[in-house]
């Protein structure tokens, strides 16, 4: 077998091998069951509870959960704005990098607290080490927030009637200390031993073999990269993210980094199965997600490994596939695999430049983010999928003439309204944003010439991708977009803000409302949700609601570009 394809198989098999036991461990952590690591973590968590002044055993209803989460995120916003706008005089700035402008700080702050990590700057020149460590904090705790909300929804899905559903601080702190921290530490150490720098020294100046003087940026990279991969964050230490040879030096580090993208999103499905004791439902959900994932993955790998048709026409050979924006040590196979991993999960880190992908691969990358629930971001991916489940239950209920029920709870008008608003929010934000920016550009191409680095269909794709990535809280980009200007900083900031918090509030509200309803035991008339038929139904809803809303826009961008060279 081709060694590049073999690498892809190994990476996926390793994800499954680690994610299933990890899912069970996470289930135990949230259920407050005994684990082998209690001796180490109980004292650490106690510090948080005690100094933070919270009682982790106080049960909260869904509104209290959301209030605690939103208040905490507001504190992060203010703290991050302060740090990013004052980096120049704060400590740990050996390269004398400047503070950020207000609009860039606004964009970067929202980007990191919303687990997006869209970056309109390059780390080497726009961040002090103190700034990097601050945004690294958000990589931990924004991921912790998402996981805490997923935990809430898992417990709300149980077969009982209650409005007391665990404690926000308990879920949040445990997510950070018992799940994210140890996993990040393992990866960081492996990275440090495989050539990723971990130092507080500034740039080094060397003379190359050919005699050029070169400066080499360094920094505390190993620790940063570990959590950016693990928490579906994706914000790179250096500008080119994991394509940079100091951020991702070898095929081995690339395997670990790729595994870490999918690890927690997959594990959380099995956590749900563990907490609800419904393993079959977990496998049905996994199956739906995997089907969508493979439908995006396989053509992307084929497209990238076959190379760029426009280059083929020049008469040279492409034994490694399309290599613009890619690194030889990964090859186009592992790069294409990463593309689909990072866009399906809202991670957004890259090891190849998405702007230079062949047109259809660029489209599959966008589709992953447009669906945004094929595994999805840590915690929030499941919340998005939950919305699709609710829609599918309702539609199937109508089709067979039964009262729509999900896990013994009746789904009524109020829940459906919330689910529809959340499902439509994503296309609304993406398409409105793209429409406004296209209008501005089309009516004044000279004034906005700096926006687009590629003409025609591809230029349109650059704008569509930017809003898709913002609204999916993904953070990858078509890097050619000249996005560090107030228009993009502010509009993407607003999109990220709405697209982060509303899709958390919606599913949490639905789950909270359902949990409080009367439990109806399963009978012959119940719609079974842990079957292949229901899985197919959810899949159809995803295709109809998510994918088809975007088809016209995709036809104007990547599809048109594809046919211009074929």
Partner 1 sequence: MKENIFPAIKITFIALLFFSGIYTLIVLGIAQFVPNKGEGTVIKENGKTYYSNVGQKFTDDKYFWSRPSAVDYNAASAGASNKGPTNPEYLAQVQARIDTFLKHNPGVKKEDIPSDLVTASGSGLDPHISVQAADIQIDRIAKIRGIAAANIKQLVLSNTERPLLGFLGTERINVLKLNLALDNLK
Report the residue number, 307 or 368, with the smaller CB distance to partner 1.
307
Min dist CB 542 to partner 1, Å, is 28
Min dist CB 506 to partner 1, Å, is 21
In angstroms, what CA-CA distances link 47 with 50, 170, 216, 394, 444? Answer: 5, 12, 40, 45, 57
Angle 16-374-554 (CA atoms, 0-180°, nearest 5)?
140
312 Cβ contact list (under 8 Å, min separation 6): 318
| Total Cβ atoms within 10 A of residue 40 | 11
Report the residue number, 225 or 423, with the smaller CB distance to partner 1.
225
Min dist CB 85 to partner 1, Å, is 17
Min dist CB 49 to partner 1, Å, is 9
Min dist CB 319 to partner 1, Å, is 5
Report the residue number, 244 or 278, with the smaller CB distance to partner 1.
244
Min dist CB 334 to partner 1, Å, is 6
Q: How many residues does the chain have?
A: 566
Helix H, strand E, coil C: the string for 172-206 is HHHHHHHHHHHHHHHHHHHHHCCCCCECCCCCEEE
**Long-range interactions of 479-484: CB distance < 8 A, separation 24+:** 479/353, 479/354, 479/355, 480/355, 480/452, 480/453, 480/454, 481/355, 481/451, 481/452, 481/453, 482/450, 482/451, 482/452, 482/453, 483/120, 483/451, 484/104, 484/120, 484/121
Please, where are the H alpha helices in 61-212?
62-85, 102-113, 123-126, 129-156, 168-174, 181-192
Report the residue number, 162 or 215, with the smaller CB distance to partner 1.
215
Q: Do 177 and 185 contact (CB within 8 A), yes or no?
A: no
Give the up-direction half-sphere exposure of residue 558: CA atoms within 13 A in the CB hemisphere. Answer: 23
Report the residue number, 121 or 406, with the smaller CB distance to partner 1.
121
| Total Cβ atoms within 10 A of residue 159 | 14
Report the residue number, 308 or 345, with the smaller CB distance to partner 1.
308
Report the residue number, 69 or 369, with the smaller CB distance to partner 1.
69
Min dist CB 118 to partner 1, Å, is 15
Report the residue number, 220 or 377, with the smaller CB distance to partner 1.
220
Min dist CB 514 to partner 1, Å, is 24
Min dist CB 12 to partner 1, Å, is 13
Min dist CB 134 to partner 1, Å, is 7
Q: What are phi and psi of 384, to 5 degrees?
A: -65, -40
Q: State the Rg of the chain over Cα.
A: 23
Report the residue number, 239 or 397, with the smaller CB distance to partner 1.
239
Report the residue number, 125 or 162, with the smaller CB distance to partner 1.
125
Q: Do 129 and 200 contact (CB within 8 A), yes or no?
A: yes
Q: Do 179 and 29 contact (CB within 8 A), yes or no?
A: yes
The tokens describing 113, both together, are: 């607290």
Question: With the C-alpha atoms ordered 84, 89, 92, 94, is the resulting torsion angle positive or negative?
Answer: positive
Q: Which of 62, 100, 57 is nearest to 82 (CA)?
A: 100
Report the residue number, 223 or 535, with the smaller CB distance to partner 1.
223
The tokens describing 65, both together, are: 């959960």
Min dist CB 237 to partner 1, Å, is 11
Cα 337 from chain centroid (whole Å)? 15
Write the DSSP assignment of 394-416 as a string of letters. HHHHHHHTS--EETTEE--HHHH
> To which H or E segment does residue 215 belong?
strand 213-216
Min dist CB 30 to partner 1, Å, is 18
Report the residue number, 10 or 543, with the smaller CB distance to partner 1.
10
């Amino acid at each position: 077998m081709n060694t590049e394809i073999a690498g892809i198989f190994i990476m996926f098999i390793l994800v499954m091998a680690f994610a299933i036991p990890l899912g069970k461990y996470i289930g135990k952590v949230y259920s407050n069951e005994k684990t082998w690591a209690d001796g180490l973590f109980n004292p650490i968590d106690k510090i948080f509870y005690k100094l933070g002044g919270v009682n982790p055993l106080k049960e909260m209803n869904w509104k209290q959960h959301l209030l605690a989460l939103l208040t905490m995120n507001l504190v992060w916003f203010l703290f991050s704005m302060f740090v990013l706008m004052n980096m120049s005089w704060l400590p740990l700035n050996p390269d004398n990098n400047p503070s950020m402008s207000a609009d860039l700080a606004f964009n970067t702050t929202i980007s990191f607290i919303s687990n997006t990590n869209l970056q309109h700057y390059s780390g080497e020149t726009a961040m002090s080490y103190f700034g990097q460590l601050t945004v690294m904090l958000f990589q931990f705790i924004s991921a912790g927030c998402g996981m805490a909300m997923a935990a809430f929804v898992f417990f709300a899905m149980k077969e009982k009637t209650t409005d007391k559903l665990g404690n926000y601080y308990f879920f949040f702190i445990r997510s950070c200390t018992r799940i994210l921290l140890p996993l990040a530490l393992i990866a960081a150490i492996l990275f440090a031993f495989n050539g990723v720098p971990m130092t507080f020294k500034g740039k080094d100046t060397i003379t190359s073999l050919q005699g050029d003087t070169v400066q080499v940026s360094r920094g505390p990279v190993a620790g940063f990269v570990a959590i950016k991969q693990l928490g579906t964050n994706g914000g790179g230490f250096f500008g080119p993210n994991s394509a940079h040879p100091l951020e991702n030096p070898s095929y081995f580090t690339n395997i670990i980094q790729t595994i870490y993208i999918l690890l927690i999103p997959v594990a959380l499905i099995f956590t749900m199965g563990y907490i609800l004791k419904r393993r079959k439902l977990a496998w049905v959900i996994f199956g739906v997600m995997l089907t969508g994932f493979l439908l995006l993955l396989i053509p992307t790998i084929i497209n990238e490994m076959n190379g760029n048709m426009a280059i083929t026409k020049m008469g040279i050979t492409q034994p490694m596939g399309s290599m613009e924006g890619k690194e030889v040590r990964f090859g186009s196979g592992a790069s294409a695999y990463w593309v689909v991993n990072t866009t399906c999960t809202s991670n957004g880190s890259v090891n190849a430049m998405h702007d230079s992908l062949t047109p259809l691969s660029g489209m599959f990358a966008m589709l992953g983010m447009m669906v945004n629930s094929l595994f999805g971001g840590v915690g929030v991916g499941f919340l998005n999928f939950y919305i699709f489940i609710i829609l599918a239950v309702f539609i199937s209920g109508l089709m067979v003439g039964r009262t729509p029920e999900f896990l013994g709870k009746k789904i009524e008008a109020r829940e459906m309204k919330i689910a529809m608003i959340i499902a439509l929010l994503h296309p609304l934000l993406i398409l409105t944003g793209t429409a406004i920016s296209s209008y501005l550009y089309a009516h004044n191409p000279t004034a906005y010439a700096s926006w687009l680095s590629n003409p025609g269909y591809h230029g349109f794709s650059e704008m569509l991708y930017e809003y898709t990535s913002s609204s999916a809280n993904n953070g990858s980009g078509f890097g050619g977009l000249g996005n560090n200007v107030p228009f993009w900083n502010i509009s993407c900031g607003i999109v990220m803000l709405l697209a982060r918090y509303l899709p958390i509030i919606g599913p949490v509200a639905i789950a909270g409302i359902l949990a409080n309803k009367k439990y109806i035991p399963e009978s012959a008339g119940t719609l079974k949700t842990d079957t292949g038929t229901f899985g197919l139904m959810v899949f159809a809803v995803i295709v109809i609601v998510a994918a088809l809303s975007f088809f016209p826009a995709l036809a104007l961008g990547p599809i048109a570009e594809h046919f211009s060279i074929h």
